[in-house]
Amino acid sequence: MSHYTSIPGILTSIPVYKDFMAVRKIPLKERRRFDLDGSLTDNSDGQPEDPEVQIALEAIRKTVLTDRTLYDKAVKAFVSFVRAYSKHEASYIFRIKDLDLIGVAKSFGLLRLPRMPELKDAPKDGWQDADMNWSAYSYIDKVKEAKRLAEAEKKPVSMVDIESTKRQRAEQKKVNAAWSNNSSRREEREKRKEKKDRKRKWEKTQLNSATENGTKDDKELDSGEDEEDWEELAREERMAKKVKRGEVSQGEFDKEFADL
């Protein structure tokens, strides 16, 4: 017989979990809480949670407040846990929407909630940020603390600066798009120029062939080969227009004329 106890935020999917474990012939049973003297409670007090849990959570917070490094680690651990939970193979059992994220945050000793998508629409009932001076919250490690103080002395970023940066990025995006379009047009012009050069060479070859050979058979033979080349060139140009109109993909075009 397996048992489970009440851990904030961890076993919120217990009904589904119990059904799953029952199929595996591993029944679960809620275990009664222990009193301070070691005896089992009868749960007649009607308290949904062991009062000692809150005392333990407050002790965790006090420990985290002694060193900012502990807080950084707590945040990373919380984020990793929540994201791993959301990607669990058995998502039909471990459902992120059923997880008590606030209870989990308390268990990790967080002083305030991090910004993450999973917490955006989560109910915040029962959560309270730690009442503290964040500017004075320091690292025990002297190197880290010196770096933090140096960062704090920098000019804070204002909303005006943020909006200015957004506008600059938007303008740069337009410039990049314009450059890309110009580059594409230049490539198209180069292709057309190359095709015209090939056409002129073909016409010149036709003229020289007719002048030098003088025989009908030879002329027809050379003309037939050159005409095939020109037809292939014309077909390539037609295909390029279809690519431009979106009727044919660039991959199909490249595959068709890879040897040219």
Is the pLDDT reported for residue 212 higher than 80?
no
Determine the pLDDT at residue 227.
Answer: 60
- Mean pLDDT for 197-226 is 63
Distance CA 106, CA 152 (A): 28
> Dihedral of CA 9/14/16/21: which sign?
positive
Long-range contacts of 184-187 (CB under 8 A, 24+ apart): none
pLDDT tens track for 107-126: 999 999 999 988 888 888 88
Higher pLDDT, 245 or 206: 245
Domain ranges in the chain?
Answer: 2-153, 159-256
**Helix (H) or strand (E) run with residue 175 in it:** helix 159-213
The pLDDT confidence band at residue 258, using thresholds 50, 70 and 90, is low
Which residue, chain included where needed, has tokens 């076993």? Answer: 11
Rounded mean pLDDT, 126-138? 90
Angle (CA) 213-218-219 rounded to 5° is 75
